[in-house]
Structure 1
Amino acid sequence: MTERYRRPLLVMAAGGTGGHMFPAQALAETLLARGWRVKLTTDARGARYTGGFPEGTEIEQIASATFARGGIASKLGVPFRIGSGVVQAMLGFRRDRPDVVVGFGGYPSIPALAAAQLMKLPRMIHEQNGVPGRVNEIFAKKVDVVACGTWPTKLPEGVEAVHTGNPVRGAVRERAGAGYIVPGDYPMSILVIGGSQGARILSDVVPPAIEALPVEILRNLRVSHQARDEDGQRVSQYYLDHAIDAEVKPFFDDIPARMSEAQLVISRSGASSVADISVIGRPSILVPYAVAAGDHQTVNAQGLVDAGAAIRIPESKLTVEAMSEAILAILSNPEGAAHMAHAAMRISKPDAAADLAALVERLGGFEPDMTAEEGQA
């Protein structure tokens, strides 16, 4: 038997959004460094986020589907596509048996988790949000371990969980606690991110909110604004028309660097964004996605808000005036901004990837030291 097959194998299953894929990437980085082999199973949407995964991660697209999209004909075919994916996963597991299977949520994780359950393989899920997604809610009672990124997480009754925190990518960990330059009469930066796909409401509200700031602040500002493709041109034009120094893109591949240089982050409160903001340690204005399942983005933001590290503005109350007032409250108060940055770092879990990796190793029978905080959900 070759060395390749003597090394332990982790199979990760993750859905097609950055919120699921970034924690999976962080775990892959950690376990590859510890000598594991790592495979990722996802769908075509998830494959878009695999460019940042470390070399050595094996990527496999697997059949899956959801009832949440498409017409009647598409919905009728969902069980067959999921069933096909489960068979595909089982055949793959028979050829190359995983030591542990970890699901990160999203319907593309169904085939691998179902196959692991049928084959009685060690398996666990990691739930990033304060309210679990539908897939993780279903599998919470069907796995050996449930790990949570947000604490507390509203899990099904009777489910015990381990609070690992949300793993952040190596590029974020490298900038953990990066020195914060408080706002002042010198060049400053605002980072605007709306999750992995941008957010239209932020593209509608943030540019005029920034334009309404006092000139003594506005003259020092540079803005990095993530906007959807369909919004990018008008957002760029607005900043240009109002002589605001701004860079607008649908996706920034250097978010950790931009965040560490920013005096303020304006963001949705997806779990990965919240984790990045807290680990790097930056003041933030958070606008939870109003129709997120179970209102989980409001729950995700709670820790930063309670710590005094963030201002949360519900979509129902988001106006140009409210956003501009929040921005001004932070950029005109250097001492308060510094307090927010330090408060964010205090509640961060920069070692979440290591704690999650320790759970994986223990579940696979490798018995590492456990440092994760255990709790009853």
Structure 2
Amino acid sequence: MERTSPPTGRRAASLLLGLVAIAGCGGGEAAGRMKEAAPAVPVLKDGLVELPPGYAERAGIGIAPARYEDVTPLVHVTGVLEFDALRLAAVGSRIAGRVAEVEVIEGSKVEAGQVLGTIVSAELGTAQADIAAVEARVLAAQRDVARKRSLLAEGITSQRELDLAISAAAIAEAQLRAARQRVTALAGSRGSKALGVAELRSPIAGDVVGVHVSRGQAVVPSHTAFMIADPRTLWVRLAVFEGELLHVQVGDPVELSPTTGSAETFAGVVEFVSVALDPMTRSAEVRVVVDNLAGKLRAGQTVQANIRPASAQRRAVVVPRQAVLQIDGTPTVFVAQTERSFESRQVALGVGDFERVEIQQGLAADEQVVVSGVFALKSELYR
């Protein structure tokens, strides 16, 4: 059998070179294919971002013209609803006594003048009894005056006696007025007919939002027994910072929405703007009155308030807010020079709302700016 001799060193070297050449040819073709498949990317040229064909569509880049139109600043603040202080009443006893009856519970709806509860008081009973005694003295004095007039006409008594009787009657009548006034001060103008019983009545129509007494409880004049509120209007006190307070005025419209995520909004109006700033927070109170006839809002509820200062409304060059980027701490927009080239331009911002912002410097009306895909351009600019 013929044996095959192993390759010599020269033959092995030739074989190795051939394999390398073959591998090199294959690698070059693969590299060429990879180079052809590599996508084109934006480049920065002469201060402009140049986009390759089709890149704007892939990156979702959209442009729109800057508009010259009316813009109103928006002051966004969070606050808490509370009862209107002008529609809130605290009802308590004017005298010391003991609670006899409680006629309402928390949540009851009451009318003005409705009895909320009754209090038994010895002091009131004494004052009411004094009225009866003084009334008797007044009646006796008036009869004495009539009798003296008759006797004077018959010449039996003197004018001095009649004058003394008239004076005594006047003193008795003054004492009666004082006694009645004392009872009114103790029990109110519509006191109970029962001796020593004071009725606590609601001064306004509304809802009972607090009951702080129970039957048999001892009370004193400083104790608040009931709280009544009319929830048809509410207040919200807002802390507006010094820089935004300049434009806010009484009468400005306010849009409020609950912080719970509800899409429903409610209308309000600025009723008061404080004349003093809080030295710690550099803010001032702005009080807003909210219409709550539908009863959908509650005191204590947190709301977001958007104040639109009418006095600051003006015409200006505006762009959508999403068109403005912060680059190195400076507001910047991308301005279209051609369909595929964009200039990065610094601008000065003015007032605005959630959707639009005023461009005070750096952009003219009708210039085309990038309004979508701006982050894609920024990332390519600072690749």
TM-score, normalised with respect to structure 1: 0.19
* Higher RCO, Cα 8 Å, sep 6+: 2
TM-score, normalised with respect to structure 2: 0.19
Question: Higher helix fraction: Structure 1 or Structure 2?
Answer: 1
